[in-house]
């Protein structure tokens, strides 16, 4: 594996992020701040504590993941889709760069941007509510695993998409609704049956619950279930990417 190839693509992607700083970092942080103003101050003062945690603090992990999900997909999908759009993907395919190096570079850059966004969002949250992290090391590991999973998903979407509209189908019509219905702003245990059982079929529930556990040691589902769902998403995406490069699906057309 050529570290030089990976580093070159990685630096290019990070340079592109600097040119779109408003879109990739500032805008999501402003949006998150507005969420805290509305949910934390206006609504949060009238809400009872969730699982023994103040409502404003309880929604912090969910808000972080809401931003991370969207930006991870957008960063990774646009990163690989743009070379397809401009036709420079053929230069990449003909270069002495393996598929593993390509994935490491593009997904690695997207993960870096998503982790930075998550940490900046967390810092923003501390300006509005009290936040504690009971398991800081596990929080970072969960964050890295979740961002890697959704960046890999974004990479698959970027190759699959034929136009800019298709880049937004999965994050806007699937991921966002699943996130809002996945316990980002409430505890799943507060739901009545049969909705509580139905909600457990939503994979986002496990991601949000596991990430929230690293903050407050409170989880709606077993932590091992969260780890299993993260591993399953990563595994499925890796299999899909391997098949794409092996068959040239929408890469050599």
Q: In the chain, pLDDT over 70 holds for what percent of residues?
A: 93
Report field, pTM of the whole predicted structure over 0.85? yes
Q: Where are the alpha helices (DSSP H) in the chain?
A: 3-19, 21, 27-35, 55-58, 60-86, 89-94, 99-125, 136-160, 164-167, 169-170, 176-180, 195-199, 203-216, 223-247
Q: What is the mean pLDDT of the chain?
A: 89
The answer to whether 35 and 128 are in contact (CB under 8 A) is no
pLDDT digits (tens, 9 = 90+) for 42-85: 565 666 677 778 888 898 999 999 989 999 999 999 999 999 88
pLDDT digits (tens, 9 = 90+) for 154-212: 999 999 999 888 998 999 999 999 999 998 888 888 888 888 999 999 999 999 999 99
Contacts of 40 (CB under 8 A, 6+ apart): 55, 56, 59, 128, 129
Confidence of residue 26 (pLDDT cuts 50, 70, 90): confident
Q: Where are the alpha helices (DSSP H) in 161-222?
A: 164-167, 169-170, 176-180, 195-199, 203-216
């Amino acid at each position: 594996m050529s570290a030089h190839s990976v580093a070159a693509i990685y630096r290019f992607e990070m340079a592109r992020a600097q040119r779109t700083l408003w879109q990739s970092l500032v805008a999501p942080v402003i949006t998150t701040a507005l969420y805290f103003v509305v949910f934390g101050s206006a609504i949060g003062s009238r809400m009872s504590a969730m699982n023994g945690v103040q409502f404003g603090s309880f929604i912090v992990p969910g808000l972080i993941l809401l931003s991370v999900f969207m930006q991870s997909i957008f960063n990774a999908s646009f990163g690989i889709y743009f070379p397809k759009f401009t036709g420079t993907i053929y230069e990449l395919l003909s270069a002495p760069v393996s598929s593993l190096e390509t994935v490491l570079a593009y997904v690695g850059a997207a993960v870096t941007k998503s982790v930075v966004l998550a940490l900046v969002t967390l810092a923003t949250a501390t300006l509005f509510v009290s936040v504690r992290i009971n398991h800081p090391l596990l929080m970072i590991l969960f964050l890295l695993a979740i961002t890697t999973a959704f960046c890999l998903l974004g990479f698959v979407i970027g190759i699959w998409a034929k136009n800019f509209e298709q880049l937004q189908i999965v994050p806007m019509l699937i991921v966002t609704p699943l996130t809002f219905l996945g316990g980002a702003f409430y505890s799943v245990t507060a739901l009545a049956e049969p909705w509580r059982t139905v909600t457990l079929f939503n994979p986002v529930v496990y991601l949000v619950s596991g990430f929230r556990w690293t903050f407050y040691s409170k989880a709606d589902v077993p932590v091992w279930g969260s780890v299993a769902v993260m591993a399953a998403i990563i595994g499925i995406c890796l299999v899909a990417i391997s098949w794409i490069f092996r068959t040239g699906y929408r890469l050599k057309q």
